[in-house]
A and B are shown apart, each in its own frame.
Chain A
Amino acid sequence: MKKTTFLASVLMFSFATAASAHGPVRQKLKEDIKINAPAAKVWDIIKNFDDMSWLPPVASVTAKGGNEKGATRVLTLKSGGTIHEEMNKYDAEKMTYAYKITELSTKETITHNGVEEKVPVLPVGNYAADIQVTADGSGSVVSWKAGYYRAYMNNNPPQEMNEDAANNAVAAVFKAGLDNIKALAEK
């Protein structure tokens, strides 16, 4: 019995060496932008799930399902690559919708610890987000927020697929989108 215990401990230790460090922790990001335009006007810009003309990195969208839960869209990026998304929730009254990424094309293939890894076009995993417009005096505020993991789900991520890469990429998309919504609404 003692021997078994000892063996178990040794096994545990060797597992730990093979997979040191840790498991991924879910990340989050929230960005708000104040806009000098009424909420209804701002909502008009973003309210259609099949219209991503307000998001600069996106070249085109193909979508089905309208603004219903379960609707899907495929974003083709100007830089090449595609992002598949699905609508989780839509509430016109509250001027908000929520969606998740279901598929990401590969941006590049790298070698990490001797293994080929595919870096997705947005280096995240299990990404879910929502965007909402709220009235703020005579103006409005758009809040965009997301929860996601880094793209690399095992231990010791390469720098292309770590938490910083994920956070920076999502932050860049949010900034581009929110700045453009503001520009379009205040035009």
Chain B
Amino acid sequence: MFNIHVHTAASLLAAVFWMTKAVAAPFAYITNQLDESVSIIDTAKNGVVHTVKIPGKPAGVALSADGKYAYISTPEANGFAVIDTQSRQVLKRVALGSSGALGIVADRIGKRLYIADWYQHLVLVLDGTDYSVIRTIKVGESPSGMVISPDNQWLYVANRLSNSVSQINLNTLSVWNTTKVGEHPFGLALDSKGERLYTANVESDDVTVLETQHFKNIATIKVKNLPYAGTLALHDTRLLITNQEDDSVSVIDTASLKEIAVIEVGDKPEGIATHPDDQHVYVANWFENTVSVIDVNTLKVVATIPTGNGSRAFGNFISLK
């Protein structure tokens, strides 16, 4: 309940900022893997305000719960980098010996950070303050996308090569349940109540819908070529999925579980995230080196922002504050 209140307040504030174009808008952190940089987008201006150089082929993004830090996974640097969102400087680079560090997520209380290791089939549990490895959890093959439940009790991990999702209990730091989904799940999206989980399945061109209470597959929704990642908007009523090989975003009505629109975006869309106003969705276009901004009410692209080479932005890349 507390989470929901905070969320609503944040949405209201964000909406006000959006309308008045106030200075303190949320920022989007876009990893440009081939450029080895992160473009910081001011969402009030829909333009890049700063570019941070980050070696190690940056790929994944997570924001700390308080919005003070952006965590960037750097597979070629075997770990991740920490950006101070105020100064926009790299505070720290952490090498973990994790050659497959890709998926990255921060918990909702500023205590821990989780990194999925693609090659070692592990989730690394890190202390959110000193970044030491507290635990490693064996999951399925090539874990990629991760999300944390709103109550901070569960971590969900897409195991790409095992065609499954692991549900990890964050109190015991152990795998609680595993369930089969479509072929090669990559990105995950979880609703704001933590009740429904959606997986974008790269190989089977569909989305698996799981209910989290019994961790059961309740529907499969066909989308377009090579679905990559997803995000929810308009009070969880819309699910937007990037279709990498179709240069489009599928819009799914979460009540009927049907695809209701397909929006053309830039070339090879990958990372996707929802603005805190809950009305706008940002999409990183890997081939085109841009970010498309979608108005979810009108289902139109309202802005296209040039970024850097190979924009991936895999993860929840928009700060709430």
A25 touches B57 (CB 8 A): yes
Point out the residue from B56, B118, B120, B245 that lies within 8 Å of A98, measured CB to CB.
Answer: B245
| B99 CB contacts on chain A under 8 angstroms | 16, 19-23, 155
B75 touches A147 (CB 8 A): no
Q: Please measure, in the bound complex, the distance between the C-alpha atom of A7 and the C-alpha atom of B213, giving whole angstroms.
A: 34
A26 touches B310 (CB 8 A): yes
Q: Please measure, in the bound complex, the distance between the C-alpha atom of A79 and the C-alpha atom of B252, giving whole angstroms.
A: 47
| Nearest CB of B to A148, in Å | 12
Is A8 interfacial (CB 8 A cutoff)?
Answer: yes
| B226 CB contacts on chain A under 8 angstroms | 128
What size tier do the contact residues of chain B reach? 20 to 34
A22 touches B97 (CB 8 A): no
Q: A25-B33, A88-B225 are in contact. Are A15 and B246 (CB under 8 A)?
A: no
Q: A19-B119, A21-B99, A147-B268 are in contact. Are A8 and B245 (CB under 8 A)?
A: no
Instruction: Name the residue on A nearest B246 (C-beta).
Output: A89
Q: Please measure, in the bound complex, the distance between the C-alpha atom of A158 and the C-alpha atom of B134, giving whole angstroms.
A: 35
Is B301 interfacial (CB 8 A cutoff)?
Answer: no
Is B317 interfacial (CB 8 A cutoff)?
Answer: no
| B76 CB contacts on chain A under 8 angstroms | 21-23, 25
Point out the residue from A5, A8, A22 that lies within 8 Å of B57, measured CB to CB.
Answer: A22
B97 touches A15 (CB 8 A): yes
B120 touches A28 (CB 8 A): no
Is B102 interfacial (CB 8 A cutoff)?
Answer: yes
Is A11 interfacial (CB 8 A cutoff)?
Answer: yes
A23 touches B118 (CB 8 A): yes
B287 touches A16 (CB 8 A): no
Is B78 interfacial (CB 8 A cutoff)?
Answer: yes
| Nearest CB of A to B64, in Å | 23
| Nearest CB of A to B263, in Å | 16
Is B34 interfacial (CB 8 A cutoff)?
Answer: yes
| B134 CB contacts on chain A under 8 angstroms | 5
Instruction: Name the residue on A nearest B118 (C-beta).
Output: A23
Per-residue A-contact encoding for B121-136, CB less than 8 Å = 1, 0 else: 0001000000011111
Interface centre among A11, A20, A22, A89 (most CB of B within 10 A): A22
| B156 CB contacts on chain A under 8 angstroms | none
B102 touches A28 (CB 8 A): no
| Interface residues in A, total, Cβ within 8 A | 28
| B97 CB contacts on chain A under 8 angstroms | 12-13, 15-17
Instruction: Name the residue on B nearest A12 (C-beta).
Output: B97
Is B100 interfacial (CB 8 A cutoff)?
Answer: yes
B102 touches A23 (CB 8 A): yes
Interface centre among B77, B120, B124, B135 (most CB of A within 10 A): B120
| Nearest CB of A to B308, in Å | 13
Is A107 interfacial (CB 8 A cutoff)?
Answer: no
Instruction: Name the residue on B nearest A153 (C-beta).
Output: B119
Instruction: Name the residue on A nearest B225 (C-beta).
Output: A88
Is B98 interfacial (CB 8 A cutoff)?
Answer: yes
Point out the residue from A4, A25, A28 that lies within 8 Å of B75, measured CB to CB.
Answer: A25
Is B29 interfacial (CB 8 A cutoff)?
Answer: no
Is A175 interfacial (CB 8 A cutoff)?
Answer: no
Q: A22-B57, A23-B100, A145-B287 are in contact. Are A8 and B133 (CB under 8 A)?
A: yes
B136 touches A16 (CB 8 A): no
Is A60 interfacial (CB 8 A cutoff)?
Answer: no
| A8 CB contacts on chain B under 8 angstroms | 133, 135-136
Per-residue B-contact encoding for A16-55, CB less than 8 Å = 1, 0 else: 1101111101111010000000000000000000000000
Q: What would 15 more interface pairs be, CB under 8 Å, given A5-B132, A22-B57, A88-B246?
A: A8-B135, A9-B133, A12-B133, A13-B97, A15-B97, A15-B120, A16-B96, A20-B99, A22-B77, A23-B118, A23-B119, A28-B34, A98-B225, A98-B245, A155-B119
Q: List 28 A-B contacts (CB under 8 A).
A: A5-B134, A8-B133, A9-B133, A12-B97, A12-B98, A12-B124, A12-B133, A15-B97, A16-B96, A16-B98, A16-B99, A19-B120, A20-B99, A21-B99, A22-B75, A22-B78, A23-B75, A23-B76, A25-B34, A26-B310, A27-B34, A28-B287, A88-B225, A89-B225, A89-B245, A128-B245, A147-B286, A155-B119
